[in-house]
Amino acid sequence: MTQEYITRTEAKKILRGITDQELLAMPGAMHYKGLWGDVVKVPRSEVEKLAATWKPPESYIREQQRLKNERQMFERARREASFLCELCGEKVKPQSDSTAVLSFLQGRLSLEECRRLVKGAHMRHKHTDYDMLIGAAAEKRYNEIQKERREGMYYDGSDVKYEIQQVRKKILRGLKL
Ligand SMILES: [Zn+2]
């Protein structure tokens, strides 16, 4: 009978908190270099045998709890920093990876400052042609670069950022936040 193998990711879902070393120590474990890095595979039967009595280590449980608390704090802060937009009548919540919210949680911004940034981002993206202008500026510059390249000129990429900064400044000035 051929042995059925499962991947490291699958094994870690079943044996929560198991380390790579522990997986590799399993009878029949395979370890080789794949196209995208190290590949670890283990026999399903070994994983199931171990799963019958497996208890996640304390450190793993604590880390999971810490991550859960962190996510909850972030969610709470997102709710706190949300606001009702007078222009579209929408209740606007910061993005799930909002830097402003993270800065607020780290104590580098007050709630008011955080909300102002969230508001600014919403106004910019939803109520101005910011995205379109940024896109147009980048495209214009991109075409110029292609032309310069064809003409054999050296280009380091910095002007696109400059162009975008200019558009951003112009819009922020217009918004007077
Ligand atoms: Zn709005």
State the Cα–Cα distance between residues 37 and 48, nearest whole angstrom.
26
Residue 122: other Cβ atoms inside 10 A: 20
Q: Which residues surround ligand 1, an ion (CB under 5 A)?
A: 85, 87-88, 126
What integer best gives the mean pLDDT of the chain?
88
Contact 12, 18 (CB under 8 A): yes
Contact 94, 83 (CB under 8 A): no
Alpha helices in 81-129 (DSSP H): 99-105, 111-127
Query: Is the pLDDT at 100 greater than 80, yes or no?
Result: yes
Query: Is the pLDDT at 1 greater than 70, yes or no?
Result: no
Contacts of 148 (CB under 8 A, 6+ apart): 155
In this prediction, residue 22 has a pLDDT band, given cuts at 50, 70 and 90, of: very high
State the Cα–Cα distance between residues 80 and 48, nearest whole angstrom.
45
Query: Is the pLDDT at 148 greater than 70, yes or no?
Result: yes
CA–centroid distance, residue 114 to ligand 1 (Å) = 17
State the pLDDT at residue 164. Answer: 72
Task: Kindly write down the DSSP assignment for every residue of 148-167, as one continuous string.
Answer: HHHTT----SHHHHHHHHHH
Contact 105, 74 (CB under 8 A): yes
In this prediction, residue 61 has a pLDDT band, given cuts at 50, 70 and 90, of: very high
Query: Is the pLDDT at 37 greater than 60, yes or no?
Result: yes
CA–centroid distance, residue 11 to ligand 1 (Å) = 45
